[in-house]
Structure 1
Amino acid sequence: MDTIAATMTASNRHAVFSDLLQRHRGIVFKVANTYARRAEDRDDLAQEIAAQLWHAYPRYDPARSFSTWMYRVALNVAISHVRAQSVRGRHDAVPLDEGIHDIADATASDHERDQHIRLLQDFIRRQAPLDRALLLLYLDDRPQREIAEILGIGESNVSTKIGRLKQRIRDEL
């Protein structure tokens, strides 16, 4: 391991990781809120994401963006969680939290905006895990290059999938 994390003392590594996790904790909560319905499931998923981030941290390459790496780990954990839940017959997906209100038309009334958000949340909840991840990253204004890196797919694939998802949203909503 030739990463900076591998050369740190355990105490330093823990302090640096804790600081990074604290600065980017919103990513963990967004992913957990998107992939788990009940509060206790969201808490469990967020905790599992944090544990897997810590476990993978020694392999983090500081030449890359921490938030990109964090999204990749978090989404992999969440998608595995969804798959495990479906195997048990308990697919617990949830729409994005109310933090996506900025995508609704600012000129719409509060009621209309809330209705648009609920419709979008319902649409996202019904998507396959990879499409849900794609929408989460897109709504978080991540560049297509970064989305491709996080999801492990090509940039042109990201562009195509986003275009198709936008069209499905227009058709359904």
Structure 2
Amino acid sequence: MTSNELQLAPFRNIDDFLFASARFAPPNYQDKERMNNRILQNLLYYQTNYLCVAFAAFCCVLYFQPLETLIGAVLVLGSSLVFIYVSENRHNVGVFKRDHPNLVVFGVILSCSLVMYTLGSIMVFLLSIALPVLLVLLHATFRMRNFRNKVQNKAEAIGLKTTPMGVILKALGQETLSF
């Protein structure tokens, strides 16, 4: 196996993740570098657990508010696609606006009304994304690291293992080499 293969980190047992052997304490907010390091290392070490927690939280929101979540997802995705299309085809959009001003005004009023009418659905969808992120960040912030956590993260830092969270953190420009 090469060092460039992407591997999913093992699922950490629930005892280590939440219960008896887990140690929680507030971070030292004055030492931002150390707090950031704790969060990054926990994100790497517990990434499979965090994926399961995020999936479970998303499913809970989807279970209790299925229609609103789906409508919100469609609207957010649709708005994003329209924005991408408009930003990549500015000239064509400008010509259409100049040739059909009444249609553009009607479209803006209609789309604003649709967004206002479905604002609750959009908020439910955003909650279904924000809640898992909040849960993961709270755990990563307050969970104190243990010896296994440090050893495992050292192995990834020297390139013996590449995990999805490591790739994401690297893409976000977060250094995970300091221990």
Class of the TM-score when normalised by the shorter of the 2 chains = under 0.3
The TM-score with structure 2 as length reference comes to 0.25
The TM-score with structure 1 as length reference comes to 0.26
Larger radius of gyration, structure 1 or 2? Answer: 2
Q: Larger relative CO (CA 8 A, sep 6+): 1 or 2?
A: 2
